[in-house]
Amino acid sequence: MARRRPTSLRTSVEDIAASKRAPQTPQTESPTYKLAFADDDFLTSEDIRGVRFQLEYLKPEFHLRERGINSTVVLFGGARIPEPGKPAWAAKNETQKANLENSARYYEEARRFARLASETAKMLDYKEFVVTTGGGPGVMEAGNRGAADVCAPSIGLNIVLPHEQAPNSFVTPDLSFNFHYFATRKIHFLMRAKAIAVFPGGFGTLDEFFEALTLIQTGRMDRVPVLLFGADFWGKVIDFQALADAGTIAPDDPELFTVVDSAEEGWDVVCRFYGLEPTEDVFLGD
């Protein structure tokens, strides 16, 4: 990111280049001679973890501020949910294959929901309600794809995983970020979120959903629409009433989210919450 500076000041890049031109001696070849910010071993050491946390927060923050993005619409959901008509690549048995193929409708709902959000973002010069996903496949791809359908920018917050996750091809390239720490990634998911749409998913989706609910419940985050897509799925996976009956959550805590089944139903909840004019899905493509 470009920064103005007085012409008399040397840049860090210039100093790195200058240090490499120093005569090769035992002193200059020692790891201790390296400039701290150019020393990969030092920067990736355990003692510098706090600095890396800060850097992972600051880099996306600088770029998002530079783009003037003030608020987002976040889509969470399973990476394993296929596009309709495509094979369930993640299925490990016939039961999973049938269920994942049946869940493919959520890919299309996520795509349409992202289009609706992006039509509102367009009216606000893409400063508000910008679609944001985890940047990967499945529901994440559907969200970024929905924005791309209407030529809108969208954000992808990828993370390095044991099985490498690559950004899907629909993320806006200069809004494609990569994280090492789940914690800093979660900060960027939620700090600008004006709406959170949660589609069927696995451990990661559940983690993100409950993190958002906890922050809202405890007043650490402003109340925003939290949408659970798929009454049938969530009714089987989590018995919220049982939690309330057990007294482990407040009786009105299930009111922190709204269960919906369609993109239009979900976006209508967002529009009513913020007093927005409803938008229509104007996409005429496939």
Residue 86 within any structural domain of the chain:
yes
Render pLDDT for 99-143 as a digit per residue (tens, 0 to 9): 999 999 999 999 999 999 999 999 999 999 999 999 999 999 999
Average pLDDT, rounded, for the chain:
94
How many domains does the chain fold into? 1
Give me the domain span that covers residue 223. 71-274
- What is d(CA 247, CA 245) in angstroms, rounded to the nearest whole number? 5
Residue 246 in any domain: the answer is yes
Reported as a single tens digit per residue, the pLDDT across 71-90 is 999 999 999 999 999 999 99
Tell me whether residue 38 is in a domain: no
Does 228 fall in a domain? yes
pLDDT at residue 83 in the model: 97
Is 251 inside any structural domain?
Answer: yes
Task: Supply the pLDDT for residue 164.
Answer: 59
Query: Does residue 269 fall inside a structural domain?
Result: yes
What's the CATH code of the domain at 232?
A: 3.40.50.450
- How far is CA 197 from each of CA 68, 89, 135, 137, 227, rounded to the nearest angstrom? 23, 24, 15, 16, 5
- 107 lies in a domain? yes
In a domain, 116, yes or no: yes
Give pLDDT, residue 162: 83
Structure confidence at residue 3 (pLDDT): 55
Per-residue pLDDT, averaged over 53-57, amounts to 97
Q: Which two tokens stand for residue 253?
A: 């805590």
Contacts with 111 (C-beta within 8 Å, 6 or more apart), sequence order: 142, 143, 145, 146, 149
